[in-house]
Amino acid sequence: MWENLSGYLNYWLAAVLLLIGLYGMLGRPNLVKKLMAMNILQVAAILFFIALAEKTGATAPIEVKGLHDVSAYVNPLPHALMLTAIVVGVSTTGVALALLIRIHRHFGTLEEPEILERMRL
């Protein structure tokens, strides 16, 4: 039973993290909490890709002398893609925080219902 399930455990954990992020973005009214939830969602996507790269019994994708077997190293492609995704995530978070600062300067609040209320006035 456990043998059967453990092959999918990483995907389920990534899905749970993604759902936490989705819940935060859909259900919380505070914009900073939405941003934090977006970061959690992004981490879920990164973990999912890293889980796809995994091979049983394989080592890190750095060549060890005398070990030329393809199945001895994990797949380097998702690692390379996620490396850039992390840095891009940091800069999108920076832009989002800058936008939040502007919103706070303009409306004086970061609660979404109050912002919508003030936009109607």
Partner 1 sequence: MRTPFGSAVLDAACRLLVPFVLIFAVYVIAHGHDSPGGGFQGGTILAAAVILIRLVHGQDAIWGLTRVGALRLACGGVAVFAGIGFLSLLFAGNYLDYGVLPLPLETVKVRVMGTLGIEIGVAMAVTGVLVLIFDALTAWGEED
Partner 2 sequence: MKAVTWVVFALAAGVLFYAASDLPRVGDIESPASVHVSPRYIAKSHDETGAPNFVTGVLADYRGYDTLGETTVIFTAGLACLLILGVRLGAGGDDK
- Which residues of the chain form contacts with partner 2 (CB under 8 A)? 6-12, 15, 18-19, 22-23, 26-27, 51-58, 61-63, 68, 70-71, 73, 75-80, 83-84, 87-88, 90-92, 94-95, 98-99, 101-102
62 binding partner 1? (CB under 8 A):
yes
Specify the DSSP class assigned to residue 106: H
Calculate the CA 73 to chain-centre distance.
24
- Min CB(48)–partner 2 separation in Å: 9
86 binds, among partner 2, partner 1, none (CB under 5 to 8 A by kind): partner 1
Question: Strand, coil or helix: what is 28?
Answer: coil
User: What would you measure as the largest C-alpha separation in the chain, in angstroms?
Assistant: 72
Considering only the stretches 1-9, 14-22, 48-56, 82-90, report the one whose residues sit in contact with partner 1 under the rule CB under 8 A. 82-90
- Min CB(22)–partner 1 separation in Å: 26
97 binding partner 1? (CB under 8 A):
yes
- For the CA atoms of 101, 104, 107, 112, what is the dihedral angle to 10 degrees? 100
Dist CA 8 CA 17 (whole Å): 14
> How many residues contact partner 1, by CB under 8 A?
13
* CA geometry: angle 86, 61, 4, nearest 5 deg: 85
- Name residue 59's beta-bridge partners: 73
The residue ranges that bind partner 1 (CB under 8 A) are 60, 62, 83-84, 86-87, 90-91, 94, 97-98, 101, 105
